[in-house]
Structure 1
Amino acid sequence: IVLNSHVSGVMNLFVVYFNGIRLLVDSPQPSVLATRGSSVTLPCHYRYEPELSAPRRTRVKWTWLPANTIATNEAFAEETKVMVAMGNRHRSYGSFKGRVRLRRSAPGDMSLVISELQLNDTGRYRCEVIDGLEDVSVTVELELRGVVFPYYAQKGRYHFNFFGAQQACLDQDGTLATFEQLLTAWEEGLDWCNAGWLADGTVQYPITVPRHGCGGENLAPGLRNYGQKQRLLHRYDAFCFSASIKGTVYYLNYPGKLNFTEASRACARDGGQIARVGQLFAAWKLKGLDRCDAGWLADGSVRYPITNPRANCGPPQPGVRSFGFPAPHMKFGVYCYQ
């Protein structure tokens, strides 16, 4: 018999009965919020009731369903192995090799510790405890602190198919945003009237102020959803997600303005590289970068970050201001990263 409960949004508890013994697996945190580059612990504990007098050969398996996986009936089968352990023996897999371990702070503690968190580590993790033919599992969602930003091609609006959007976000130090990430951004005030790809293959856009041309004035604020689109043929913009950065984004103090080529070289001479769009957004959102000077970025766009709106620095709301993609010979400052 297998039972499970979710108590007040605080704990997942799963139970299996066999031979008069109860095997219980729980996680006190159904979701965990972490920072890119840091270490995080995904809690998982098991115990037997009544308590056993002799230890059993219990095996633990951690698996992962990436946040960008499209939910289908086969989603469970798409889970990727992260770590398997029995006693003192353990093995980690794939991109998690060398980055994961079991905490084992107390008997039954099979919490997973992941170090050097990466953008693509987000998703649903499953802790499965196996005793002979019986197994019980619990899931923990891992989310990263970060920022969603709309992104369009240098050629203009609606030029990315799904795969182009994926690559564009990757090039700008990001990944395609998930629905949950876009929803959070909308709740925080993101309003953007151009439709963009999300990680699940849907096309959506966030509206906080309903208006003509953005779903209509009479439609309530929310995410406008075009649903699943043909990934190769249909073309839209992208909503990218970038998380905190290890290095620093800064406006290069330079005696004069620079064209795009000169800007790239100036950052290199300063010991860094020209910043990418995702890095600038992350520095603005997560580190409070505020500079009222337009500067080149790696994709050939010109932008500047404002956390404290003021006169002559754009609209009255905080944000990353964009000049689009000026001709490369035009002169601006530059944002570097190192």
Structure 2
Amino acid sequence: MNFKCTVFVLCCLVSLTQAKAPWQDKFERAMGKFLDILFEDVKPGLNDEIFRLAALVETMNATLAQTQQKLTKQILDEIEEVKENVNDMQKCTCSKRFWVFHVAVGRYTLNFEQAKQKCIDNGAKIAAPNQLQAAQARGYDQCQAGWLSDGSVRYPITMPRWGCGEGSPGVRSWGKPAKTKTYDVYCFKKPNTQSHNAFERAIDDKDTGGTCFVDRLLEKLSEALAEQQQQQTKQILDKIEEVEEKVDDIRKCTCSERYGVFHLAVGRYTLNFEQAKQICIDNGAVIATVEQLKAAQSFGFDQCSAGWLSDGSVRYPITMPRPGCGGDGPPGIKSWGNPAKTNTYDVYCFKKEKQQQ
């Protein structure tokens, strides 16, 4: 059986895994009747395919459930870790962890000597590279380049974004420029008990550009999680769209590949009864019976075009009623009666497919 057939049968199996409704009993009876009109040598292969697809559906459902559980646990673990860190930071233990803070006077106005003095004025000293590295490892994020004690200019990034450390997290370096050039500065101070409150005021002082960075870090992390969820949602929607496209393809006259009934037309409603029979013969088939069209419809064949059948009636199969095609009524075979055989319509032909090797 071809791929489109496999997708169609898979859809049928998924629908049958739900709680049975009255129409599903009718569907199963129609399926049994359809199997009875197939070649005897086709039945075993089709049954094997159905059982194989049923096992595949079960495996896919189990895999999907495991993936969802794993992803949910991963996100919840990350959120829990963030909450713990944020609670710690909001108590201002951030200063106790690494004692590094950013100081600026305007934007990039301090040469190296002025930077060192600015830290002294704040009761601290200019930070060393390893001190800034330790602060970054604990979550410090600041998108401003500042002097360090070795004459280098760097800044710490924990959440890379456009214009601020694109790439992986870490301490970004601008090298060792001339000490007359101007930047901001990173200071370091581990306060004693007496100076602790003064230090906390210093790192929260907006005039110095210092910050405990908690709110900014939490905001960036929330944005990252939201972006991750959007990407996962897009992947799921893309998969759904892909399946819908395959279903549409199946409905567009791949029917002949599944159950032997197919629609033929020359223009729109141009064939009288005798011409309809002949065009089926020309296509290596015969004009379909009412029973064959019903079996095809029960398997999902949907064609909004009236066509001749072997008993001289004019009908068309509908699985998805819509305005102008079955209206608000139930799915089924819609009939235009038995018109004069000189009238012109399309035609439904039938050809048993050979078992594929």
> Is the pair's TM-score, using the shorter chain for normalization, greater than 0.5?
no
Bigger Rg over Cα: 2
- Output the TM-score relative to the length of structure 1: 0.32
- With structure 2 as the length reference, what TM-score do the two structures score? 0.31
Report the structure, 1 or 2, having the larger strand content.
1
